[in-house]
């Protein structure tokens, strides 16, 4: 039990260690707080780094929520005020986010944004539209030059980024416009699609015209001969209130307009993806050269990053799991006591469990914004079922003779639960908690997609940069943490499990006669 | 109405336990048809019959483990209801077939659990524990053992100790020796009878073994299909069977013994 106390103390220490950081971030009133975001692909992260550096340069205290999971997450975060600015593309705004408004002109788009309390800068100077990418060798062999040429080859295997698969301006529209016959089409991560092409498992993928990989993998971008893809001019999208709160930051952002042409962006992307430089360094280098700003990239040591991810991950797991334990055990008891409510509770917890984890994270954004809180709530919901179910099963599995004996002694309900039933269900309940803990630690890596940080951060970056070492920097600690948490509960079990239940009940046979 | 009840109560002052028109259904099957039973102070009543006859249901109704669909149960002059049952149970000791001991508590903890819950004086608890251990002849060194570390007979002795801990007025035993092998069973029967006599307790005991019933019971209540077939001493049942079933039930269990005796003779 002493050990348990020490573990609890250690967890509390870790939890407390986080709060000063938060306090410092919200404490001083003088510099404006600016939070920028970026999507989960390299170009967006580089631009996001620029936004952070520029805001700092303008005197604001800037943070960057890197590589959030997809357009919707960022759009909702911007609307909700979780972030103040992020790099976006005009095509995405008109063809995807605001497609129902059928915006035709620049003025209409600006009005639609203004209606939502948003603004955008003038285009940054490059059009990063979609294209269909095919390996140069394959293109030459099949004579592919335009997207229309794909019609003659229905057997080609297509793999598209998940966003492109579902977007109104993505594959569904493209297929209709060109009458493409291919049926072997799958959705996958945009960065992984390049690897699919390189390994030959995929023949055609969607590419962003500024992607560094086009040259690296020797791909041919097929001509959009029916002019299906709209123009995707990069802009900075920001909240109108930022202009009041931190006008100097907005002024800084406006200086980016027209500054980055397509070859430049492609080169910056290549510096990160192919040369292995950090987004921060590439962004800072560009700003120094083009705007003659004296900005420094943020240098964080791997250990600093590791420590930060560890703290973030522990906070996610610690709070969500503790809350789940506190609620799930009473729910399990209730379920065991009352048949009807029990079925309802188990049913609801079961339904929550079937929601894909990423979807659950994203569901939380409109309610709780981005960052730690929505991730904690999602993880909390995920952790409920194993504990509820095991508490229920543990109580239900107690032999009726024992339950009745406790009743017949005259012990009231609460005392029966405390003295007899819960101790006998200890093993089952702890098994449920262990299952929840392992699921929780693993699922928490997805929190990075909604800005909650943790070990998912290096994993996401690693996938994006095709860097296995980076992926392992997140995956290995997550696995170790899962084992560690399980070990802790193993120790708690040793302290908590009643002595009479520890050994195998095999001694009865060899006991002395009555 | 009130007067009538008063009158009945006065009539039954020597009755520790009165069941009147008590019935119980489980789903579609009638476990117990409307039944009357009276148990006097100090009497040992044995409920006997084939499995499923309703004898255990009757015992569980008395202990308040199940609620009757109709009828009333009066224990020491007051009605047993869900509201009063917790207090009533402290004056009843209950022993079931497998002992129903709590596997996570040792012998001492099992026996004293209710006394400790009621915050009885520690010295009193220790004294009572030693006294009961002596009564059921359980060695002191077993007090720290867990149920899994005891033999079947030892477990039944502990279960009896637990039932007797608060010195109840009524002892309910549901096939207390059913799970034991014949030698130990025989030995414990002898001891139990001595203990009952020594303590002068009112006892209601359930068994399916006619010899055991005859051995313990002043009064036997033979049951079948949820109703009482005949009430009386073993002699009554054997000599004046109320129906053919009584004879069959007795001879079915006596027959093997008779054959054995014949073979030996």
Q: What is the pLDDT of residues B26-38, one digit of tens each?
A: 888 888 888 888 8
Per-residue pLDDT at A6 = 52
Residue B1 has pLDDT above 80, yes or no: no
The residues, any chain, with a CB within 8 Å of residue A139's CB and separated by 6 or more, are: A145, A220, A222
Contact B114 A411 (CB under 8 A): yes
Torsions phi, psi for A161 (to 5 deg):
-55, 150
Per-residue pLDDT at A44 = 92
Mean pLDDT across the stretch A391-403? 90
Count Cβ atoms within 10 A of the Cβ of residue B225 and give its class: 0-12 exposed, 13-18 middle, 19 or more buried.
middle
B160: in domain: yes
B45: in domain: no
CA distance A408 to chain B (A): 6
The pair of three-digit structure tokens given for residue A494, joined into one six-digit string? 């040793």
CA distance B78 to chain A (A): 17
Tell me which chain A residues have a C-beta less than 8 angstroms from the C-beta of B65.
Answer: 404, 407-408
Any B CB within 8 A of A498 CB: yes
> What's the number of domains chain B is made of?
1
Any B CB within 8 A of A196 CB: no
B250: in domain: no
Residue A3 has pLDDT above 50, yes or no: no
Any B CB within 8 A of A412 CB: yes
> The whole model's pTM is what?
0.74
> What CA–CA distance (Å, rounded) separates B110 from B164?
12
Contact A409 B149 (CB under 8 A): no
Mean pLDDT across the stretch A474-494? 89
Per-residue pLDDT at B162 = 92
Per-residue pLDDT at A325 = 93
B149: in domain: yes
Residue A29 has pLDDT above 80, yes or no: no
Give the Cβ contact number of residue B10 at 10 Å. Answer: 9
CA distance B205 to chain A (A): 15
Tell me which chain B residues have a C-beta less than 8 angstroms from the C-beta of A394.
Answer: none
List beta partners, residue B95: B173
- Residue A452: pLDDT band (50, 70, 90) is confident
DSSP string computed for A446-495: GGGGGT--STHHHHHHHHHTT-HHHHHHHHHHHHHHHHHHHHHHHHHHHH
B159: in domain: yes
Contact A408 B103 (CB under 8 A): no
- Residue A201: pLDDT band (50, 70, 90) is confident
Tell me which chain A residues have a C-beta less than 8 angstroms from the C-beta of B97.
Answer: 401
Tell me which chain B residues have a C-beta less than 8 angstroms from the C-beta of A412.
Answer: 86
Query: Which residues constitute the domain of residue B151?
Result: 101-167
Mean pLDDT across the stretch A140-166? 88
**Which residues in B have their CB inside 8 Å of a CB on A?**
60, 63-65, 86-90, 92, 94, 96-106, 113-114, 117, 146-154, 156-157, 162, 172, 184, 187-188
User: Can you tell me the ipTM of this complex?
Assistant: 0.84
Q: Count of CB contacts below 8 A, A vs B?
A: 97
User: What are the structural domains of chain A?
Assistant: 33-127+232-291 (3.40.190.10), 130-222 (3.40.190.120), 302-501 (1.10.3720.10)
Any B CB within 8 A of A438 CB: no
Percentage with pLDDT > 70 across chain A: 91
- Residue B218: pLDDT band (50, 70, 90) is confident
Contact A507 B148 (CB under 8 A): yes
Per-residue pLDDT at B117 = 92
- Residue A208: pLDDT band (50, 70, 90) is confident
B206: in domain: no
- Residue A27: pLDDT band (50, 70, 90) is very low
Tell me which chain A residues have a C-beta less than 8 angstroms from the C-beta of B143.
Answer: none
pLDDT one-digit tens code per residue, A312-357:
899 999 999 999 999 999 999 998 888 888 888 888 888 888 888 8
> What CA–CA distance (Å, rounded) separates A384 from A321?
9
The residues, any chain, with a CB within 8 Å of residue B29's CB and separated by 6 or more, are: none
Per-residue pLDDT at A501 = 75
Mean pLDDT across the stretch A252-267? 89
pLDDT one-digit tens code per residue, B2-58:
444 444 444 445 788 898 888 888 888 888 888 888 888 888 899 998 888 888 888
CA distance A409 to chain B (A): 6
Residue A254 has pLDDT above 50, yes or no: yes
């Amino acid at each position: 039990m002493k050990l348990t106390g020490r573990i609890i103390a250690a967890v509390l220490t870790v939890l407390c260690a986080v709060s000063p950081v938060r306090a410092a971030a919200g404490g001083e009133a003088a510099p404006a707080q600016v939070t920028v975001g970026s999507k989960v692909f390299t170009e967006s992260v580089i631009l996001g780094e620029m936004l952070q550096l520029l805001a700092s340069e303008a005197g604001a205290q800037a943070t960057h929520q890197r590589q959030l999971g997809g357009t919707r997450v960022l759009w909702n975060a911007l609307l909700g005020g979780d972030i103040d600015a992020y790099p976006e593309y005009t095509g995405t705004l008109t063809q995807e986010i605001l497609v129902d408004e059928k915006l035709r002109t620049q003025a209409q788009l600006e009005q639609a944004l203004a209606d939502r309390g948003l603004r955008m800068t003038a285009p940054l100077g490059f059009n990063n539209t979609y294209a269909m990418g095919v390996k140069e060798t394959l293109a030459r062999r099949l004579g592919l030059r335009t997207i229309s040429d794909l019609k003659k080859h229905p057997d080609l295997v297509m793999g598209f980024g998940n966003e492109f698969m579902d977007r109104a301006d993505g594959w569904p529209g493209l297929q209709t416009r060109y009458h493409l016959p291919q049926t072997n089409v799958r959705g996958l991560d945009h960065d992984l699609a390049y690897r699919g092409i390189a390994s030959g498992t995929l023949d055609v993928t969607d590419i962003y015209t500024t992607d560094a990989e086009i040259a690296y993998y020797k791909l041919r971008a097929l001509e959009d001969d029916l002019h299906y893809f709209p123009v995707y001019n990069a802009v900075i999208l920001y909240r109108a209130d930022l202009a009041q709160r931190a006008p100097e930051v907005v002024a800084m952002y406006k200086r980016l307009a027209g500054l980055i042409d397509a070859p430049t962006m492609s080169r910056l992307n290549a510096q990160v993806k192919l040369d292995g430089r950090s987004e921060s360094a590439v962004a800072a280098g560009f700003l120094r050269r083009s705007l003659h700003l004296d900005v420094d990239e943020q240098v964080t040591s791997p250990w600093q990053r590791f420590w930060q991810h560890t703290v973030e991950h522990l906070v996610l797991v610690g709070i969500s799991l503790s809350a789940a334990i506190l609620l799930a055990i009473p729910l399990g008891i209730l379920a065991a006591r009352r048949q009807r409510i029990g079925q309802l509770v188990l049913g609801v917890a079961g339904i929550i469990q079937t929601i894909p984890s990423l979807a659950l994270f994203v569901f939380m954004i409109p309610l709780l914004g981005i960052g730690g809180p929505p991730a904690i709530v999602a993880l909390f919901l995920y952790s409920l079922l194993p504990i509820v179910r095991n508490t229920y099963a543990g109580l239900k599995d107690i032999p009726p003779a024992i339950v009745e004996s406790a009743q017949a002694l005259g012990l009231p309900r609460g005392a029966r639960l405390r003295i007899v039933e819960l101790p006998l269900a200890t093993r089952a309940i702890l098994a449920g908690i262990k299952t929840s803990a392992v699921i929780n630690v693993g699922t928490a890596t997805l929190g990075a997609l909604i800005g909650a940080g943790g070990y998912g951060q290096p994993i996401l970056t690693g996938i994006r940069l095709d860097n296995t070492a980076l992926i392992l920097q997140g995956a290995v600690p997550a696995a170790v943490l899962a084992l560690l948490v399980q070990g802790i509960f193993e120790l708690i079990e040793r302290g908590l499990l009643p002595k009479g239940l520890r050994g195998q009940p095999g001694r009865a046979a060899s006991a002395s006669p009555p | 109405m009130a007067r009538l009840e008063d009158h009945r109560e006065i009539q039954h002052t020597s009755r520790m336990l009165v069941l009147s028109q008590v019935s119980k259904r489980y789903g579609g099957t009638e476990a117990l048809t409307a039944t009357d039973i009276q148990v006097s102070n100090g009497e040992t009543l044995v409920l006997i019959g084939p499995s499923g006859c309703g004898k255990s249901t009757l015992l569980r109704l008395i202990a308040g483990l199940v609620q009757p669909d109709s009828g009333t149960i009066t224990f020491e002059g007051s009605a047993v209801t869900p509201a009063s049952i917790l207090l009533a149970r402290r004056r009843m000791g209950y022993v079931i077939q497998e002992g129903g001991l709590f596997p996570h508590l040792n012998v001492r903890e099992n026996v004293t659990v209710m006394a400790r819950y009621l915050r009885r004086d520690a010295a009193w608890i220790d004294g009572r524990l030693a006294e009961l251990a002596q009564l059921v002849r359980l060695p002191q060194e077993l007090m720290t053992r867990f149920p899994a570390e005891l033999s079947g007979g030892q477990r039944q002795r502990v279960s009896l100790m637990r039932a007797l801990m608060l010195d109840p007025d009524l002892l309910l035993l549901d096939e207390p020796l059913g799970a034991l092998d014949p030698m130990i069973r025989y030995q414990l029967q002898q001891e139990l009878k001595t203990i009952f006599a020594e303590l002068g307790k009112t006892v209601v005991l359930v068994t399916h073994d006619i010899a055991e019933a005859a051995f313990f019971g002043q009064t036997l209540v033979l049951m079948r299909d949820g109703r009482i077939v005949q009430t009386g001493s073993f002699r009554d049942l054997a000599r004046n069977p109320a129906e053919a079933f009584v004879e069959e039930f007795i001879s079915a269990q006596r027959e093997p013994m008779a054959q054995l005796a014949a073979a030996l003779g």
